Amino acid sequence: MTPVDRRHFLKNSAALAASLAALEASSVRAAEPGADESGKAAGPNDVLRVAVIGVRGRGMEHIQGYSRLKDVKITTICDVDRNVIGPAMAAVTAKNGSAPAYVQDLRKVFEDKNIDAVSIATPNHWHSLATIWACQAGKDVYVEKPVSHNVWEGRKMVEAARKYERIVQTGTQCRSHKGIQDAMDFLRSGKLGKIYMAKGLCYKPRGSIGHKPEGTPPEGLNYDLWTGPAEMKPFNPNKLHYNWHWVWNTGNGDLGNQGIHQMDLARWGLGKDEFPKSVQASGGRFGYKDDGETPNTELVSLEYDDCMLQFEVRGLPTNDELGAKVGDIFYGTEGVLAITSYTNWQSYLGPKLEKGPGGSGGGDHFANFTKAVHARNPKLLNADIEQGHLSSALCHLGNISYRLGRKLHINPSSESFVNDAEADRMLTREYRAPYIVPAKV
């Protein structure tokens, strides 16, 4: 392990000082505690050795999630920015009693035979390539949503998972929540009649990010690695941490950020495991001008043969709908069902929409992943990578229509557009060597 400069840790978190000595000492050890010398993958009764990649934001929730599980040990922290790893290192040190390894380059994680699985919480533009490389290296994968930055690379992830027989979980954790599972069972019961439309809501306040000038990457950040498969552009601190969501080069706007959760539930509730036949979107970045590019207001309409899926992003002040600002509403011929949070739902029955059954309940998406890994059975996953690809693709299709400003017709079987070369080009991107998503995984 490469020793980490002491002042990066001290600058980041005073709490990390106590674990620094242990971290530096770990640079000379041959393997992590609990790993056998052969580097053999963990079996069904072994402790699963996990590396968390990307730890500034959502990655900290990965660390908390795995720390609750008795059959998991986080052995490695990976992030391209040494300035943000302090809280992650401290949390894992407190749980393990010793410091985890730290590496800046995720390729070192994939080379490590003592790591069984990786948990990816990087920016969106890294999700697909990191997952594919992990599968090729024999690692199982938990990857955050959206699983891809564009449609084409999402399908490559599915191909890699199947070819290398890897367990790959999508980070749409609502699929592991009892309340949401019960809501889906109610939709399937027929008590709402035929479900003819689903609407996803992402009414999350998003203020202006303002303007900042271009500058020089801070010491400790490997900007080449951070950019990875994306186009190399001049460094701007306003397009780095979290704000990368609002830049097309690295993010997918709120449709692909928060909205992917609700898009996934909408598709699940409609029972659609294929692409729609058309998509039309409109919107804009209204109310302010800043360094962001993606819309803060967006309306997407996806058509299937027998139903519709609508999705709406509202980042400015707005009302709720049936008690939800982030959720889903399902419309049936005999009533309506509203999912009002990650765990709660309520039905409304008959022409007067009288209150019917409802419920709530959480779950553990990380435990579901590790259960499938130990059993070597992807069918145990609540959010298999193909489900993640299909839902992520709907977000990408909406953004393509928005950016082109017109309705697009889709061939579901080929996951491409109908006689539209301009739109087809936006299904993928130009990749930057050596960070190229392979056409043949």
Q: What is the pLDDT of residues 188-216, one digit of tens each?
A: 999 999 999 999 999 999 999 999 999 99
User: Does residue 234 register a pLDDT over 50?
Assistant: yes
User: Does residue 273 register a pLDDT over 90?
Assistant: yes
* Nearest C-alpha neighbor of 93 from the set 6, 26, 5: 26
19-36: average pLDDT:
34
CB distance 150 to 426 below 8 Å: yes
User: Does residue 22 register a pLDDT over 50?
Assistant: no
User: Does residue 187 register a pLDDT over 50?
Assistant: yes
**Dihedral sign of CA atoms 230, 228, 383, 321 in order:** negative
Q: For the chain, first and last CA: distance in Å?
A: 29
Burial class (CB in 10 A: 0-12, 13-18, 19+), 30: exposed
Q: Domain ranges for the chain, please list them.
A: 6-173, 176-362+385-425
How many Å apart are CA 86 and CA 55, to the nearest integer?
9
Confidence of residue 9 (pLDDT cuts 50, 70, 90): very low
150-155: average pLDDT:
98
pLDDT at residue 13, as a whole number:
40
- Segment 70-88, tens digit of pLDDT: 999 999 999 999 999 999 9
Is the pTM here over 0.95, yes or no?
no
CB neighbourhood size of 271 (10 A): 12
pLDDT at residue 15, as a whole number:
39
pLDDT at residue 7, as a whole number:
38
Domain range 6-173, its CATH number among 3.50.50.60, 3.60.10.10, 3.40.50.720, 3.30.365.10: 3.40.50.720
pLDDT at residue 45, as a whole number:
55
How many Å apart are CA 103 and CA 99, to the nearest integer?
13
pLDDT at residue 31, as a whole number:
31
pLDDT at residue 46, as a whole number:
86
- Segment 351-408, tens digit of pLDDT: 999 999 999 999 999 999 999 999 999 999 999 999 999 999 999 999 999 999 999 9
CB neighbourhood size of 177 (10 A): 21
User: Does residue 19 register a pLDDT over 60?
Assistant: no
Confidence of residue 300 (pLDDT cuts 50, 70, 90): very high
Query: Residue 170 has which token pair?
Result: 């999508």
Which spans in 189-311 are helix H? 223-227, 259-270
141 φ, ψ to 5°?
-140, 135
Confidence of residue 172 (pLDDT cuts 50, 70, 90): very high
Query: What's the mean per-residue pLDDT of the chain?
Result: 92
Between helix 151-163 and helix 385-404 the angle, nearest 10°, is: 170
100-118: average pLDDT:
98
User: Does residue 42 register a pLDDT over 60?
Assistant: no
10-23: average pLDDT:
37
Half-sphere exposure of 110 (CA within 13 A, CB side): 15
Confidence of residue 43 (pLDDT cuts 50, 70, 90): low
CA dihedral 91, 94, 95, 98 (to 10 degrees): 110
CB distance 158 to 182 below 8 Å: no
How many Å apart are CA 198 and CA 332, to the nearest integer?
9
pLDDT at residue 5, as a whole number:
40
Asked if domains 6-173 and 176-362+385-425 share a fold, the reply is no
User: Does residue 232 register a pLDDT over 70?
Assistant: yes
CA 67 to chain centre: 20
Tell me which architecture the domain covering 176-362+385-425 has in CATH.
2-Layer Sandwich (3.30)
pLDDT at residue 44, as a whole number:
52
User: Does residue 4 register a pLDDT over 70?
Assistant: no
How are beta strands 117-120 and 140-143 bridged, if at all? parallel
Distances (CA, A) of 165 to 62, 159, 160, 347, 438: 23, 10, 8, 40, 18
CB distance 329 to 309 below 8 Å: no
pLDDT at residue 36, as a whole number:
37
Q: Residue 163: enclosing H or E segment and its boundaries?
A: helix 151-163
